[in-house]
Structure 1
Amino acid sequence: MYLCVFAFAKAALAQPILTTKQYKVKTVAFYNLENLFDVEDDPSINDEASPIMEMTEANRAEVYQMKLTSMARVIRKIGADKSQSAPSLIGVCEFENRKVLEDLVNHPLLIEFDYGIEHYNSPDRRGIDTGLLYKKSDFKVWKSESKELIIYDKSSGNRIYTRDQLVVTGALDGDKMSLIVNHWPSRRGGEQKSRPNRVAAAALNKRVIDSLHSMDAMSKIIIMGDLNDDPINKSVLVTLNAQKNREDVRPQMIYNPYIQMLKDGFNTLAYRDAGNIFDQIMLTYALLNEANQEGFRYYQANIYNPSFMTSKTGRYKGYPLRSFADGGFTGGYSDHFPVYVYLVKEIKETEDLKAPSTN
């Protein structure tokens, strides 16, 4: 898909020059898959607490396939109105293992896109992981690693086993780029009590970002995930020093378009009867127009919240239509809306136009 922008410029002898700017458009997205577990009991993790495993054995396989169809239906549509295709890159969280991602990308609704998978098993107590799906035709993986988040409960001194952070560096249509996929610790026990855990997760992100910048001060880095914090919480606003306004972003700093979205009343989920934007995508300075770099640049950020994914009635009217409730499958999708950004890359083309005839 290409976006076109036309601009006129004056030339000698009043010959107008029409400059046609064309842009390649790629979608980069993030989606919390809400308890995408398979139907098999894995004794090494706490998967028996998953909604699918709580169902009767006869119903599990059918519900699993319906859940995959729901996820695939959403993924193929994210950003398609401008890119005319499914996302080139999509970070995912809250799934059980690599097998469920393989089942997802091989679903009939997604198989045509030929997604590759980057994934590592996390030590999370619930057995859920982070991952990256990428179109093999668009993105070439150069390096992939898992960054372990080691935190401890202050009262007991016991380790809190949570999700690792996935770091992938590669080339998007030839343009070097790094992605950090997150699912930060939950607010279990209350926001204030659990806050240090998410600050620690942000600090790990910051170390990864600083390390990438130390190798290349103009690194193009995309930070994405379910942060279990809003864009205005300490972890994002202070620890990451993410900026609301693009004009305030300097080299090696981070821009977060979801700060303004939160202020404008948008949400990606409902937590304790309130709307939040826990799902966010942030970008380093090098991806902004202000950096004057070649290759892909940030164009626009969005929340994918179409009507078919939205609760129409009841307590959570207007919020995501979740897939599990009251011990059963609702036919919904996830308790989070996906988020996505468009990246564009200019293709330069200039056409000289003759002055109109005066005859």
Structure 2
Amino acid sequence: MLSLFLSIFLTFVELNCENLFDCRHDSLKNDTEFMPQGERHWTRTRYWTKLNLIGQEILSSADELPDIVALCEVENDTVMHNLTRRSLLRNAGYEYIITESPDTRGIDVALLYQPLRFLPLCYDYITVKLIKGMRPTRDILYIKGITQKLDTLHLFVVHAPSRYGGEKASRPFRMHVAQTLAKAIEPIKDGNIIITGDFNDYSDSKSLLYLESCGLTNITRHAKGKNGKAKATYRHKGEWNSLDHFLVSSSLLPKVKDVYINDDDYLLEEETMYGGYRPRRSFSGYRFHRDGFSDHLPLVLTLL
């Protein structure tokens, strides 16, 4: 724990966990596929294997223990409790905050943090109001806190609607999330703002460009793997592209030391159809890979 006091940097990791569900049914959610008798045959053994692999992935994302971790595709408080108290992360000292979203599958976003390095002062769930044709989606998690250096940070964790039904047809929903974010940051636009998560859009998509027009900078636009293998956080049909991003306010730009993708060898697998490598994911269709982590790679930001 001494390293927490010696480090002069603040390390922030973002990761889409790819379906980090427990194996119990929530009667209010459509999560039956992640039960032992469901389509994915999601047993306790598979669940605990997945938890420990996600813990390993987080721990390996920086030379020292990450100070803050934003997670997408986590189901509920039980999952977060098990991840922070009973998995490989159990001795890491993380506390957490998780949303309680109206998403029909029960997917939420969460934030892990080291209390000695980042202390939340308050937090809120920002509900994304529905527009025509839009299904209930994940709340945006907002946290205001102070770092060890007593800098105030405003953090937003987002998991925008997927491209289900086609990119063009679903584009207005992701733009609506971007507009909701823009409205939320307007009263604090002169503060230290970090927005991160899975936007389900690329850096040149309209939703990301809109946020940049609001005074934010996408500092992960050109992020690459620290080992030179990953060109982005996500690979689809042989093409690398990032759906995960960090956007910061102008006041934080001078404090950005580094940004990279964790592409350690064990997080990748050869892609036989298209050549090269892709993230070592948990599922191919409904087939579970015991040594799979996620279909996204961790994105890492280091601040001075």
Q: Same fold (TM over 0.5)?
A: yes
Q: 2:267 corresponds to which residue?
A: 309
Work out whether residues 30 and 340 of structure 1, in 8 Å CA contact, stay in contact via their aligned partners in 2: yes
The equivalent residue for 1:126 is 105
Task: Provide the C-alpha distance between the structure 1 equivalents of 2:265 and 2:208, rounded to a whole number of angstroms.
Answer: 29
Residue 94 in structure 1 maps to residue 73 in structure 2: yes
Within the candidate set 47, 50, 65, 2:34 is matched to: 50
Q: Which residue of 1 aligns with 2:196?
A: 224
Residue 258 of structure 1 is aligned with which of 220, 235, 238? Answer: 220
* 1:209 maps onto 2:204 in alignment: no
Instruction: Output the CA distance in 2 between the equivalents of 1:261 and 1:131.
Output: 23
Matched, 1:150 2:109: no
Deviation by residue 1:219-277 (Cα, 9 ceiling, x = unmatched): 1111100000001111011x2126xxxxxxxxx82121222348x98221123543210
Paired AA for residue 255 in structure 1: T
Shift of 1:191: 0.7
Confirm whether residue 338 of structure 1 aligns to residue 298 of structure 2.
yes
The gaps in structure 2 that reach 5 residues or longer are: none
- Give 3-state SS (helix, strand or coil) of 2:9's partner: strand
For these two proteins, the number of residue pairs brought into alignment is 293
Q: Match for residue 250 of structure 2?
A: 285
2:280 corresponding residue in structure 1: 321
Taking the aligned partners of 1:275 and 1:288, their CA distance within structure 2 comes to 26
Kept in 2: contact 1:304–1:338 (CA 8 A): yes
Distance 2:285 2:97 in 1: 33
Give SS of 1:259's match: coil
Which of the numbers 208, 213, 218 marks the counterpart of 1:236?
Answer: 208
Aligned mate of 1:76, from 59, 74, 88: 59
Structure-2 separation of matches of 1:271 and 1:49: 23
Residue 27 (structure 2) pairs with residue 62 (structure 1): no
Residues in 2 aligned to 1:277 and 1:39: alpha-carbon distance in whole angstroms: 29
Give the distance between the partners of 2:140 and 2:40, measured in 1 at CA: 31
Contact kept in structure 2, 1:186 and 1:228, CA below 8 Å: yes
1:198, distance to aligned residue in structure 2 (A): 0.6
Change (3 A) 1:55 1:25: same
Distance in 2 between residues matched to 1:99 and 1:222, nearest whole Å: 27
Offset at 1:113? 1.9
Larger Rg: 1
Taking structure 1 as reference, are residues 150 and 24 closer, same or farther at Cα in structure 2, changes over 3 Å only? Answer: same
1:172 alignment partner, one of 147, 152, 161: 147
Distance 2:236 2:140 in 1: 23
| Alpha-carbon spacing, 1:51–1:230, altered in 2? closer, same or farther (3 Å) | farther
C-alpha RMSD of matched pairs (Å) = 2.2
**Distance in 2, Cα, partners of 1:234 & 1:285:** 20
Matched with 2:11 is: 27
> What does residue 166 of structure 2 align with?
190
Structure 1 residue 179, shift from structure 2 partner: 0.5
**TM-score normalised to structure 1 length:** 0.77
Q: Match of 2:101, as an amino acid?
A: S
In 2, distance between residues paired with 1:45 and 1:144? 24
Corresponding residue for 1:13?
none
**Seq. identity, %:** 30
Offset at residue 74 of structure 1 (A):
0.6
Unaligned runs of 5+ in 1: 3-21, 243-251, 290-296, 345-359
Maintained 8 Å contact 1:51/1:327: no
